Amino acid sequence: MLANKTIKSQVEALREKINYHNIKYYTFDDPEIPDSEFDKLLRELQSLEAKYPELISPDSPTQRVGAKPLKTFGEIKHRIPMLSLANAMNEVELLDFDRRVREATKVDVIEYAAEPKLDGLAVSLRYEDGVLVSGATRGDGSVGEDITQNIRTINTIPLRLIGDDIPSVLEVRGEVFMPLNGFKKLNAIALKKGDKLFANPRNAAAGSLRQLDPKVTAGRLLEMISYGIGIVEGAELPDNYSEIIDWLGSLGIKTSPERKILTGINECIDYYHQLTEKRSQLPYEIDGIVYKVNSLLQQKQLGFVSRAPKWAIAHKFPAQEVVTILHSVEFQVGRTGAITPVARLEPVEVGGVIVSNATLHNMDEINRLGIREGDTVIIRRAGDVIPQVVSVVESKRTRNNKKIVMPEKCPVCQSGLVKPETQTVVRCTGGLFCEAQRKESIKHFASRKAMNIEGLGDKIVDQLVDENLVSDPSDLYKLTIDQLSDLERMGQKSATNLVAAIEKSKSTQLHKFIYALGIREVGEATSRALMEHLGSIENLIRAGKEELESIPDVGPVVADNIIHFLQQEHNRDVIQRLIFDGVTWPEPEVQNKIVAGVTGLTFVITGTFTGLSRDEIKGRLQSLGAKVAGSISRKTDYLVAGEKAGSKLQKAKDLGVEILDEQKLLKLLGSD
């Protein structure tokens, strides 16, 4: 039986009521009806949807949980990158930040928007016409994991926005976290079941949000608080950040109840001390305060560095410190050959985390601290993350405490050790002959952000190296199903799947291949910059130091690391073997290519396009030597305008800026 208009209206009215009361309860902490009345409304809607299943819609309050478990997460590309924040670890660094902001904006006193820095996982939500359509993790800032099913289970995230001023597209950015009461309940259940306990609420939140089964996430009591926006279409934004957050709150998005507008850096420092005292009383963990320049105009003036905005900073709280015993020191070999001393400690809780190991960095640090095995030491979690030894309690030292001595040979392969004059790091000379480096280099090569060989986990790599089946990354492409199926816990089906995954990885991108090589200090951003400016692996091998240093993200040290790596014959041999074995990538466009009518000109992009995304248009223009700005001015040469171009189109007309539609742009780029 199909529903008539009366039933449809009844269902819509129920959904609107439930959505309203849900937001009042979870977002504003201001319930208007008792739980029993809310449950009654929800049961009534469930009954009608059961009777008329054709009325069920994705944004119905009954559909928060119910999707089938995923086999793996997909990816979502952020149209506007999700950047990280610079840190101020003390007042001196905070004052220096304020000085830079004032000098750059030529303003004597800056108005800041301040809010607690939640210790959780950054996410991005996309709403279309007020309905939640997707959710993604921050990932590497450019691409995140598609966690839409799990996001939908979080009650503080509305499935449908409220209010009259709803944009056609709204990207909300915020922090998903686990409140302390939820964390305690989760660990109490784990303890009762005999399962492993979560170390802290942040780990619990991250693990919960990345469950392939959304029903597991639904039981984890997660919440989200918004701290900003990404893409917005179909709405005029206010002139400052705090008003944008107020606007999000009016749409039903939860915002921080602790946020404040502060005038001048002295008020920021006062707020820091106030929140430091209040920190232990909050229902969630925070690890600092974020200050943002409130004026959007001043934010545009300040701009960005490669990975962070210049108009915001995170003022971190002092790390918590505890006393424990340093039982011994072991020397570990990293994938680049670095020998790192690691302190083995009497397990102790620091900031909610059980710590049994701490880095000692290098022998210079050991000598500076005067540490001996058996010492009583003070440790802290620097930035509430990395355990470090701060100092020694010398009054508790005994005669039996032993001095720590750097070994003369590599503890893994017995090769000699070297220490460059300008560095504090001691390195093994064994290279690929060193089993520790061999394993770690192959694990890095196969990792998701490198060659992305699905199923090639750490334990399998360990076995492949131990069984002498793999001595460098090129050997992976020679493995057979029979060889793999003989490994522990690897049957015929698993072996077949892994061989297929290795074969699939042959088709990659040049920047991922460069990153996969494991050149010291060459991360994802640097690998991408090398690809964009050099265009081929041959050009990278031939590049001299001066050419490398002219590339963004490549300084003298990184240039030396690249040259040193590629001067080694065995490294070039591995690269050639990988290419011979079929590893390929599409030829990227090189940024120094000169194109008449494009190179050196300034473009602004607005609206939506059918053939190319805005990011793709931006990338094409930049690869041809053009500049891409965010706002129209008299210096703008072209406005690239798609559908729903908005106010920028009118401003371009007012200023006499030439306007290109998608077809004219493609013709200009030679792609029509």
Catalytic residue positions? Answer: 117
Which amino acid is it at 16?
Answer: E
Cα separation, 596 vs 417, in Å, equals 54
Which amino acid is it at 456?
Answer: L
Cα separation, 109 vs 291, in Å, equals 14
Which amino acid is it at 510?
Answer: L
Q: Name residues whose C-beta falls within 8 Å of residue 545's C-beta, 6 or more positions apart in sequence.
A: 556, 559, 560, 563
Handedness of CA 28, 33, 35, 37 (dihedral sign): negative
Task: Please report, in angstroms and rounded to a whole number, the separation of the first and last CA atoms in the chain.
Answer: 53
Take residue 29 and report the two structure tokens written for it. Answer: 């902490």
Give 392's strand partners.
377
641 contacts 664 by C-beta, under 8 angstroms: no
Cα separation, 281 vs 221, in Å, equals 19
Cα separation, 46 vs 331, in Å, equals 61
Pairing of strands 638-641, 602-606: parallel
**How many Cα atoms sit within 13 Å of 469 on the Cβ side?**
19
- CA dist 284 to 31, 99, 329, Å? 21, 32, 35
Return the ∠ at Cα 228 (arms to 260 and 18), rounded to 5°: 95
Reference 332, options 345, 344, 349; nearest CA is 344
Cα separation, 586 vs 589, in Å, equals 9
Q: Give 50-54's long-range contacts (Cβ < 8 A, gap of 24+).
A: 51/1, 52/1, 52/2, 52/3, 52/7, 52/11, 54/2, 54/3
Q: Name residues whose C-beta falls within 8 Å of residue 277's C-beta, 6 or more positions apart in sequence.
A: none
658 contacts 638 by C-beta, under 8 angstroms: yes
Reference 445, options 433, 432, 434; nearest CA is 432
State which H helix or E strand residue 312 sits in.
Answer: strand 312-316
3-state secondary structure of 320: coil
- Cα pseudo-dihedral 575, 578, 584, 587, rounded to 10: 10
Cα separation, 527 vs 450, in Å, equals 10
State which H helix or E strand residue 245 sits in.
Answer: helix 241-250
